[in-house]
A and B are shown apart, each in its own frame.
Chain A
């Protein structure tokens, strides 16, 4: 294995491949940082360009864009409170809070370092533990997915900043939004009001853009006429993470990277779910859980390491079983087939140099991402020095094009505007926005898998206590909920 990996490094560092990898990672970061353009979209857009390429070059390019794209989403999330991708939605909470404290440089550096740690751990686990991870993933069926989704939904209690009841109401509103569209089992059109645009439900990208970006633009507009200075302008990009802070966040980043890899290896559970689950776990196990949401470094390290941990995890079922774990893996499956390769157990024996070349390129892509992330901080942070009136306009119209981009649909622009207004009103009455997004992401997973599980068990709910992984998730969910409520009570008591 070591010999093959070294051979892979030789290929990656060759004159024809390395510049391509650096360009792909840089391109991925740019794509990820633009609202509405996801890593999946970046990989899909580039797929046709790989048709005429050599197999290694094609895979290196796509993997570079994937890794860069997942990290890139955090830049806009931290600086503009506008998550570039759904995977970066959890980073908004503590990332932007740090920017408001004038510590944008620190937030961006934690994000880059944690993304690197998550991505690197994930790739190492992919190389060494693929068969084990594949076995773990194969044990997941409807009851386990329901357990995972329910555990994820308990995060609502942790991210409900001031008022738990309002947080739950926000989460329930998100779950309700998630039920719009065709019913996952019977295909009955629910709450579609006869419009064809709602048959597939609300697309998460315009909803996310509306709730975070447009509502933020509205809030920024309100304060334009006030005389006090804008805290966002008073920041320093020079202040990076210190060695002591790095040592403090390292365990969180490592744990989240490992969790992200496991979550990524489960087909259907993507980077967005991993980010929220790892954020919740970091908060639950923290000695200072009430500092989460106020701009704590672990609040950035956990979701960033978690979502980048998915990059290697998602390739486990693809490479070992030929089953794509998420949308990006599905595009990569297409790329492998186009190159005449058949993913599955035989890929490791028939095309070992290519597979290990891919592994080596993933390791190097993570290092390149860290390098570009760190040297880019002073350039990214300059965004905050742009005059406020211009930055509001840029956010608004980038949001419009981002909402349109996913489906080329004007309807999605209307959705973004509508959710912008809803988000703005929610903020006015102190209803947190994160539970809404979380519920929209996890709601469909919870509903469809609960109903499938009940059908599997012919109407019985016994899967709740007979399947070990489901039981583990349900226990974790109860534990997470109780911890969050107790922390809130203690805080209110103080």
Chain B
């Protein structure tokens, strides 16, 4: 796994080094270090550490490696975690953020909270009721008390 991490960071640093070569001159001139100095220095250091990581013997196994090295299936199952729910939750949150301006905070949050509870496998009815009350209370606390202009949407 260390080698995958090393490759990701190396690619990122190469990308940054390339991007800094495209920086154009500005009206205000910094004759000494310039806008590209810091990103370049960081990217060069990052590349160096990525190379070190590539050659480094892993002393501590990462979670993925620990699962891979398990001998029995039951042991493997106990370590394996459910990565699908975080992926679905990310998609849900993106959809939620895009719907906020249209549905408004209370409605969008209630719907997203209910969906999240269903995703997490909740079968308790009051959890769903709580999610609606929580969303509405949160809206009024932030909107009226803290003057945060949360989206009101089409219903309010």
* A300 part of interface (Cβ distance < 8 Å): no
Is B150 within 8 A of A401, CB to CB? yes
Contact among B5, B85, B124 for A429, CB-based, below 8 A:
B5
Is B23 within 8 A of A408, CB to CB? no
- A217, B105: Cα distance in complex, Å: 21
Task: Name the interface residues of B84-123: CB closer than 8 Å to any CB of A.
Answer: 85-86, 89-90, 93-94, 96-97, 100-101, 105, 109, 112-113, 116-117, 120-122
- A404, B9: Cα distance in complex, Å: 30
* A70 part of interface (Cβ distance < 8 Å): no
Query: In the complex, which residues of chain B have a beta carbon less than 8 angstroms from the beta carbon of A162?
Result: 59-60
Is B97 within 8 A of A413, CB to CB? yes
- A410, B90: Cα distance in complex, Å: 15
* A359 part of interface (Cβ distance < 8 Å): no
| Binary CB contact string for chain B from 1 to 37 against chain A (1 if under 8 A, 0 otherwise) | 1001100010010001001000110101111111101
* B155 part of interface (Cβ distance < 8 Å): no
- For A413, the closest partner residue in chain B by CB is B97
Task: Sort chain B's interface into a size bin.
Answer: 35 or more
Query: In the complex, which residues of chain A have a beta carbon less than 8 angstroms from the beta carbon of B146?
Result: 31, 37, 41, 45, 405
Is A221 within 8 A of B120, CB to CB? yes
- A420, B91: Cα distance in complex, Å: 12
Is A387 within 8 A of B134, CB to CB? no
| Binary CB contact string for chain B from 44 to 58 against chain A (1 if under 8 A, 0 otherwise) | 011001101100100
Known: A172-B49, A225-B82, A393-B113. A450 touches B134 (CB 8 A): no
Is A454 within 8 A of B32, CB to CB? yes
A182 to chain B, nearest CB (A): 9
Query: In the complex, which residues of chain A have a beta carbon less than 8 angstroms from the beta carbon of B85?
Result: 221-222, 224
Is B26 within 8 A of A417, CB to CB? no
A26 to chain B, nearest CB (A): 14
Q: Which 7 A-B pairs have the closest CB atoms?
A: A222-B81, A218-B86, A183-B35, A188-B35, A172-B46, A413-B97, A186-B26
Can you pick out 8 interface pairs between chain A and chain B where the beta carbons lie within 8 Å of each other? A176-B12, A187-B26, A389-B122, A390-B122, A392-B116, A413-B97, A431-B5, A459-B32
Chain A interface residues (CB < 8 Å from chain B) = 31, 37, 41, 45, 162-163, 165-166, 168-169, 172-173, 175-176, 179, 183, 185-188, 190-191, 214, 217-218, 221-226, 387, 389-390, 392-394, 396-398, 400-401, 404-405, 408, 410, 413-414, 417, 420-421, 424, 428-431, 447, 450-451, 454-455, 459, 492
Chain B interface residues (CB < 8 Å from chain A) = 1, 4-5, 9, 12, 16, 19, 23-24, 26, 28-35, 37-39, 42-43, 45-46, 49-50, 52-53, 56, 59-60, 62-64, 78, 81-83, 85-86, 89-90, 93-94, 96-97, 100-101, 105, 109, 112-113, 116-117, 120-122, 124, 127, 130-131, 134-135, 138, 142, 146-151
